[in-house]
Amino acid sequence: MKLALLSAATSTAMALMAYAAAAQTPDNAVISNAILSAPTGADRIAEGKAVYDTNCASCHGAKLEGQPDWRRRLDTGRMPAPPHDETGHTWHHPDADLFKIIKSGLDAVVPNYESDMPAFGSILSDPQIADVLAYIKSTWPDRQRDFQAEVTANDAANP
């Protein structure tokens, strides 16, 4: 028991160190999984909500509800912004893909895909992107959060 607690404390400390180190790397640095799996305390979630309200809510909705009729293609041929709550499909994707989509746009994950989703790499720092993801995840019920954690673990094991 003592050992397990000790190793949990050690990995938390290591994740925090990685988070601090990543916070100082340039924007185009490759993001490590450590920054995404760093402990998501209330302060980071609050930061993430502020980032979300300023940068994402206009399309994805103040309550993460997405654009009206979000499953129906627009006249432009592109898709509306989906919800980020449990009714959407954000929780189907691993952390690494979500991070890439937010930083570099959807075509970073699906080449040549045309989308109205902006790339935020020149607007948000890597830790801000991690925070906004922490905020989005904090709104999910356990089922969605557990599912997405498993998808992320599988993805990390088979990159």
Q: Give contact residues for ligand HEC (rule: CB under 6 A).
A: 55-56, 58-60, 78-82, 88-90, 93, 98, 101-102, 106, 115-118, 120, 132
Burial of 153 (0-12, 13-18, 19+ CB in 10 A): middle
| Pick 15 or 86: Cβ nearer ligand HEC | 86
- Using an 8 Å Cβ cutoff, are 146 and 154 in contact? no
Rounded to a whole number of angstroms, the minimum distance from the CB of residue 95 to ligand HEC is 10
Rounded to a whole number of angstroms, the minimum distance from the CB of residue 60 to ligand HEC is 6
Rounded to a whole number of angstroms, the minimum distance from the CB of residue 102 to ligand HEC is 5
| Pick 36 or 117: Cβ nearer ligand HEC | 117
Residues 6+ apart with CB under 8 A from 119: 103, 104, 105, 108
